[in-house]
A = this chain, B = another copy of it.
Amino acid sequence: MPPGKKVNYPVACPVYRAQRIIAGKWKICLLCLMNSGTKRFSDLYRNMSGITQAMLTKQLRELEEDGMISRYVYPEVPPKVEYSLTELGRSFIPIIQELSRWGSCHLPAADDEVVMPCCNLKKE
């Protein structure tokens, strides 16, 4: 290997920035669910088994901070909050589909295999 530049701790690299955004345990899942349209908190909660409300809130906040989703609060009682993908969020869906395709082609499937909703859209 030529002298070249050392690869620094890769946090600042674009690939790693991208990876970090979807690193959360439920992030991809959420993006996939929202890909089919705007969703209420309760919609998401009811359709993800295993997640707690606290965790769901946290993951949603993080996705929002990263600009992947937007949050709209209706001024009502009881509260109503809707989440939807932003442009940025939508632009990431194809990569999720790539990952899914790669995973399906190259790796052994488990018995309890479940395919993310959005990944069934463009399965060639």
Contact = CB atoms under 8 A, between A and B. Distances in A.
Interface of A: 1, 4-10, 12-19, 21-23, 25-26, 28-29, 32-33, 39, 43, 46-50, 88, 91-92, 95-96, 98-104, 106-107, 109-117, 119
Per CB-CB distance, the 9 closest pairs between chain A and chain B, nearest first, are: A14-B103, A18-B103, A9-B50, A12-B110, A14-B104, A15-B100, A6-B49, A1-B43, A18-B99
Nearest to A12: B110
A50 B119 contact: no
Contacts of A5: 114
Contacts of A92: 102
24 contacts: A1-B39, A1-B46, A1-B47, A6-B47, A6-B48, A7-B49, A8-B114, A10-B28, A12-B112, A12-B113, A12-B114, A13-B100, A13-B119, A14-B103, A14-B113, A15-B119, A16-B103, A17-B103, A18-B99, A18-B100, A91-B102, A91-B106, A95-B95, A95-B98
